[in-house]
Structures are given as C-alpha cells and as structure tokens.
Amino acid sequence: MKFIVNTNQLLNKLQGISGTIVSKPVIPILDHFLFDIKGNMLTITGTDLETSMSTSLEVQADEDIRVAVPSKMCMETLKALPNQPVTFTIDNNAIELKSEFGRYKLIGQNADDFPKVPESTSENSFTMAAGVLSSSIAQTIFASGNDDLRLSLTGVYVQLFPDNAVFVATDANRLVKIEHKDVKPGVETNFILPKKALNLLKANLPQDDTETKVDFNDSNAFFTFGDVILICRLIDERYPDYNAVIPTDNPNKLTLNRQDFLNSVKRISIFGNKTTNQINVKITGSELTIYAEDIDLSNEAVERLGCDYAGEDMEIGFNSKLLIEMLQNLNTPDIIVELSTPSRAGIILPSTNVEDEELLMLIMPMMIANTTA
C-alpha cells in the first residue's frame, strides 16, 4: 500500500494539529498521528483523549490505507527534506518514506488501536465568523485561571442565547466579558471550554469571515472551519455567577489614553513590590497620579497623566501585572474606567466598541497601604 504527497503540504497540515500531541502520553499511541486514506483523500488526526484535531488533504493513493504514524519522527523527517513529492509505503505498520535522496523506515502502530474520536450529532449547532471567534478567545483567555482546585475558572465560559453569544473568563482577581450580537445561536444554554482547545483554536483559526460551525452536546464541543475539525471535552463544572461581582452603580468615570496609561503603569511597576505588584492610582480633578514603592528596597516612582474625570477624588490600588495584561488586550486609543469606591472592583471599557460587540473588563482592587504624598 502506498501514497504520494508533497512534503511541504503534509508538514503544514501536521504542524497545524500537532498541538494535540503530548510529550508524555498516558498510552504510547497518543504520540502518533492517525493517517486514514479513503479514495485520494488523506485525513490526519491527533488526540490527547481530551482534545482532538483532524485535517485533510488530497494525495495520490493506490488503495485505502489506515495506519498510526509516529508524530515526532515523521515531522522531523519532513522538516529536513526540501519541498518535493515523497512516497509512503505501508506494510503491516512498517512505514517507508522514499524521497529523491533516499529511503527512511519507521515503525507505526495499528490504526485500530487509535482512540476513537467523538462524533457530532449536529443537533445543537450554529455558525460564526472565524475572526470573531478568534478575537473572542484572544480577548478572554488571558483572564482565565490556572488553579486546578477551581477547575471551572481555568476555561472560558460560553453563554448562548437565541440572538447573541457571551464569552466570559475570570481568575477571581479580574474578569473579561465580551458579548456578540451578530452571533445567532438560536438556543439558550452554556458550557465551559478548556484552555488547551482554545489556544489551538486561536492558533489555527483564520482572521477573516470564514464560516466556523460550532456544534455541542453535554460532553463535547466541535469546531469546523475549512478542512479542520477540533473536538474538545467540556469542563464539567458549574461556573460562578459572574454578574454578582460586576458593580452596576459606578458614578466616577475616568477617560484617558490607553497607550499612555499602559506605558506609565509599565514604568511605575518596575519600582513596586515584586511580590504584590501593587500600584496606587490617585485621581484629583483632571490629573491622574500613579505611584508605587518597595519599602524593603527603598525604591519608589510616581508619574502624573492628564485625564478627563467626572466624580469624587479617589485613590485605589491595583495589581500592575493584571492591569498591564488587560490594557494590552484592548485596541481602542482611549479607555473608560468606571469606579464606585476604593474597595470595589473597577470597570474598564473601550471608548468605542466594535459594531455588534460589547466588551467589559473588571479588576479587583488592592488594599492601599501607602498613599501618595
């Protein structure tokens, strides 16, 4: 049994789904790709049992073939070859690659031992633009947690409504919520997507209006775009009521340049305590003062920025590391910061939202131990 394929085309497909392969798999076959040829179409699948990806390309084949191919050795061989046709010959799981330079033999495994990938029933499905899904992931995933004891917070919470979709991520210290009114799921439900699958989606989704089909059931979600299918097991946990932590009465409103604020926070944080990462923000009239110090090392820094502020004078503390990440994931020139009291969360909003999109960021305050002079 043999087939012929272009080295660069095959390598590009393998690299796209290689993120599913783990370095220390629980069973040996999980560090293999499943090659499945029907007619002249090669379907390649990789999985770690939680997340699976498959893609396909056309090849020249003399008959149908199924074999599990060692992922690392196959990819390293293709990387070392220039762009050219290469012939794969399979005989009882023994795989031979033949190029213009020579022959290379490796041992695969029986395709029947490869884990079966969940199949979609398409009972609950909707479509959205690939670029919209990609930006939703990018703008939320950074705010998700890493604590396995709070498993629900390690992913992105997706709420579906008949006429809109909401993506939420929080690590209990900050929260990001993005609502898309141009997505019409037609159903009302919710689920939590795991971080690994989201990072794979973000890396593979095209940044355009390519239609992406989203299908789901009680245990898995399925994403189909182009010739790629990604399947992930949902996080089976209850997501906390995030709306309860979003303050609704925020009479103090601050408008300022996002990049200027970001640059200032970056500089000031250099002089702050490396354990707490705390900076203090004091607003008086049209002036914003950013201050940080490290008492143990006698380091301190202060900067002042012009701003547009309507409200009472206030001083509030924030974690600079979290604040920097949030500001870096906003795209508008100006931002609006809504505040109520120094002990309640601050709301950060873009000055202008993308059409049919509403973005909200929240950051919890830190206790102020030192005030600016």
> Maximum Cα–Cα distance for the chain, whole Å?
80
Q: Which residues, other chains included, contact 285 with Cβ-Cβ below 8 Å and sequence gap of 6+?
A: 309, 313
The domain made up of 2-113 is a member of CATH 1.10.3720.10: no
Between 3.40.50.10880, 3.10.150.10, 3.40.640.10, 1.20.1440.230, what CATH number should domain 125-242 receive? 3.10.150.10
Cα–Cα distance between 373 and 289 in angstroms, integer? 10
Q: Assign a CATH topology to domain 246-363.
A: DNA Polymerase III; Chain A, domain 2 (3.10.150)
Residue 341: is its pLDDT beyond 50?
A: yes
Higher pLDDT pick, 237 / 372: 237
Q: Minimal CA–CA distance to 97: which of 77, 121, 112, 111?
A: 77
Tens of pLDDT along 14-31?
Answer: 999 999 998 888 899 999
pLDDT band at 352 (very low <50, low <70, confident <90, very high): confident
Residue 6: is its pLDDT beyond 50?
A: yes
pLDDT band at 369 (very low <50, low <70, confident <90, very high): low
What is the full DSSP assignment across 212-276?
EEEEE-SSEEEEEETTEEEEEEPP-SPPP-GGGGS-S---EEEEEEHHHHHHHHHHHHTTS-TTT
Cα–Cα distance between 164 and 156 in angstroms, integer? 16
Extents of the domains making up the chain? 2-113, 125-242, 246-363
pLDDT for position 344: 93
Cα–Cα distance between 332 and 321 in angstroms, integer? 20
Tens of pLDDT along 125-136?
Answer: 899 999 999 999
Cα–Cα distance between 282 and 52 in angstroms, integer? 49
- DSSP helix/strand/coil, 366: strand
Per-residue tokens: 170: 């929080």
pLDDT for position 356: 87
334 near 255, Cβ under 8 Å?
yes
Q: Is 125-242's fold the same as 246-363's? A: yes
- Kindly report whether the global pTM for this prediction surpasses the value 0.95: no
pLDDT band at 354 (very low <50, low <70, confident <90, very high): confident
Cα–Cα distance between 267 and 273 in angstroms, integer? 13
Cα–Cα distance between 99 and 87 in angstroms, integer? 7
Q: List the single range of 14-18, 61-65, 223-227, 314-318 with lowest mean pLDDT.
A: 61-65
Q: Which residues, other chains included, contact 135 with Cβ-Cβ below 8 Å and sequence gap of 6+?
A: none
Percent of the chain with pLDDT over 90: 88
pLDDT band at 373 (very low <50, low <70, confident <90, very high): very low
Tens of pLDDT along 42-68?
Answer: 999 999 999 999 999 999 998 999 999
pLDDT band at 1 (very low <50, low <70, confident <90, very high): confident
Tens of pLDDT along 259-277?
Answer: 999 999 999 999 999 999 9
Per-residue tokens: 194: 């795991």
Residue 372: is its pLDDT beyond 50?
A: no
Higher pLDDT pick, 350 / 124: 350
For residues 279-307, give the mean pLDDT: 94
Tens of pLDDT along 96-121?
Answer: 999 999 999 999 999 999 999 998 87
